[in-house]
Amino acid sequence: MKTLSHLKHAVMVVLLIGTTFAVAQEPTNQYHFDGNVKWMMLSDSGVLVASTGEALVGIKPNQSELHFKFDRVKNVKEEHLEPVPNTPYLIIKPRGLFNHTVVVDIVKGKIIFDSKAEDWQNGVTSRYFIYPEMMFVVNGMHKDGGGKYTQGVGLYDMKTAKLVNIFKRKASNIMVGVPDVKGNTIIIPGMKNVTAYDLGSGSEKWTAEVKNATRISSNDENNEIYAFRTKGGNTVVYKIDGTSGNLLWAEGNKLKGNLARYEFTPAGLAVVCNVDNSGKKGLGKLASAKSQSKIYLLDTNTGADLWDKSPKTKGYVSHFYVENDGILFGIGSGGINKISFDGVPQWKKPLKTGANIQLMARVPKGVIYISESDADIIDMNSGESVFGKPIKYKRSEAVASAFDEKRGQFLMSCKDGLYTVNGNDGSYELINNELNFEGKEAAQSIEIRENAILLSSDQNMIWLDFDGKESNHVYHRAPGKSAFGAILAGALTAASAGVAITSSAQAGMLKGAGVPPYNSTVQYHEANAENFAAVADAGFQELAKRFKATKATANASFILTKIDGGVGLIKVDKDSGETLKEILVKDKKPMYEVDEFEGVLYFKADGNTINAYDLKN
């Protein structure tokens, strides 16, 4: 939902060029409900989800009938929603005294799990998604065939919306951590042990004597199972034989710090633990007083740490990539380093960088990083600047960037202005140091248009020629939005703007895949379309079609602002800045969503009605 007091999800607001007459356009479709529309949310799949108090409803673009209406899901608040990233699934989380949990496939328009309908007493006490199998695991009391409630763990296939099996548990050995599925086996961590069950029969295969494991992970390359347990402020790792359940590391390997992440590498199991020293007293100015990450590489045969000494981090690891020849990692407080699998630093010394590394991505000359105060392309072999020195600039909450393929140069916008960086020789130039984003905003995105560079924020659009000279600038302050609100919304949006150009820019979200490539928005959509199409499920197939259809950069922005006659939505050409269309909605505090890809405006009208307007024509 967007309102004029909460615009962090809103598209930019622009000043109308000239004066045009706004006409109240008739909606293309109208949806009437018995209850008042509480909120609206546009999903990545293009389905609008809304709560009317008496039902949860879904609307697909350009369809006159509701996509779904679930009467048994009522009075859902936005804070109870949990979209599952890169899937068509939406979890409706528990609220109140009962743990009633629902999962909806919003693309298919079906409820695929309902703890009440599935006879889980008072809902489920815990739940987990298991990737890439798309399984949903729940824990609680389930009604058996005799009408009695017994402790159990349920496994559901989200693609088919069917129960795979219920695995009976004793109340004294409930599931306490994240399970894993390997082949036809589910491995469940419990209070007293780790238990493996056959998916088909539900029968117990083996148990391993590991108490209170918080996470189970299987190595896809072999029959090894790993159990992670938190003990005090430390982590203990156990290895289990996947056939017998025998403990191969009987005592477990105790690691300092709480588990942050782990990766299977060609040389062993890499584990990152965070050591929090923030509340400890008496350490004074010792280096050990600093909260930091510790990185371990465990021998998968013995469990021993292969490294004599953990590499220095001096802060928490925020980026972590497994490369063919070692591990590359970045620190949240600044700094990048690379360690070979034998524990030897590959670089003479760690690379110093600014804090808050917003982006690390592979480019033809090496790896580009962008922090809040500097940027550079580094040689992966030496850890040194490819071109001699980094670009340093004033501390910026976010740095927008783009690659101009035609000219072979990167563009970066920060507090200094707009830089161009030659991708071949590293030469850089501040081509504009007078960017004036009104409303104390900063550039959130950069687009390479045919004849200009377009920099955009919530309320500004600035066009520059390729020499950096400003050719056009439009701005408009949204009605009812205070100056404080404008600053806050801009800061919230800017926080993520710098990492939007690659699907895994946030701290290595692709497990074991190495440093991701520097992708454009087009490449991002192409990659997602390919990934979704590979999943044998109708919901994912529809997601693939949407991403494939929307991979090209849109040629217009749809903006809510004040126009003649009241509040309205305008369509602005990204090349000329001209207003192509206006729709008057006459609401001082509108509730609305804009699907830019399909060209549809959804607007709450008269309390219990949602109007849909066609913006394409």
**Domain ranges across the chain:** 1-68+550-617
Instruction: Give CA–CA dist 381/324, Å, rounded.
Output: 12
Of 370, 361, 420, nearest in space to 395 by CA: 370
- The gap from C-alpha 444 to its chain's centroid, in whole angstroms, comes to 17
Instruction: Give CA–CA dist 138/102, Å, rounded.
Output: 11
Cα angle value 520/347/274 (rounded, 5°): 75
Mean pLDDT by 10 residues, the chain (617 residues): 35 30 70 93 91 92 94 87 88 75 94 94 90 91 89 95 95 95 95 96 96 92 92 94 93 93 93 84 54 94 91 92 94 94 92 94 92 95 91 92 92 95 90 90 90 89 96 78 34 28 29 74 68 78 71 67 77 87 75 85 89 84
| Pairing state between β 258-264 and 269-275 | antiparallel
pLDDT given at position 482:
36
Q: Identify the helix (H) or strand (E) that includes residue 240.
A: strand 234-241
pLDDT given at position 503:
26
Instruction: Give CA–CA dist 388/393, Å, rounded.
Output: 16
CA dihedral 317, 323, 327, 333 (to 10 degrees): -30
462: β partners:
455, 473
pLDDT given at position 526:
67
Is residue 33 within 8 Å of 52, Cβ to Cβ? yes
CB within 8 Å of 450: residues ≥ 6 apart: 575
Instruction: Give CA–CA dist 236/241, Å, rounded.
Output: 17
Instruction: Give CA–CA dist 186/155, Å, rounded.
Output: 9
User: One-letter amino acid identity for 380?
Assistant: M
Is residue 424 within 8 Å of 408, Cβ to Cβ? yes
User: One-letter amino acid identity for 248?
Assistant: L
pLDDT given at position 523:
65
362: β partners:
367, 517
pLDDT given at position 280:
62
pLDDT given at position 508:
30
Q: Indicate if the alpha-carbon torsion angle 360, 520, 431, 463 is positive or negative.
A: negative
CA dihedral 51, 54, 55, 61 (to 10 degrees): -60
Instruction: Give CA–CA dist 475/561, Å, rounded.
Output: 10
How far is CA 437 from each of CA 120, 392, 478, 479, 600, rounded to the nearest angstrom? 54, 21, 15, 18, 28
User: Is the backbone peptide bond immediately before 390 cis, with ω within 30 degrees of 0?
Assistant: no
419: β partners:
412, 430
Is residue 479 within 8 Å of 466, Cβ to Cβ? no
409 dihedral zone (left: phi>0; alpha: psi -120 to 50; beta): beta
pLDDT given at position 267:
93
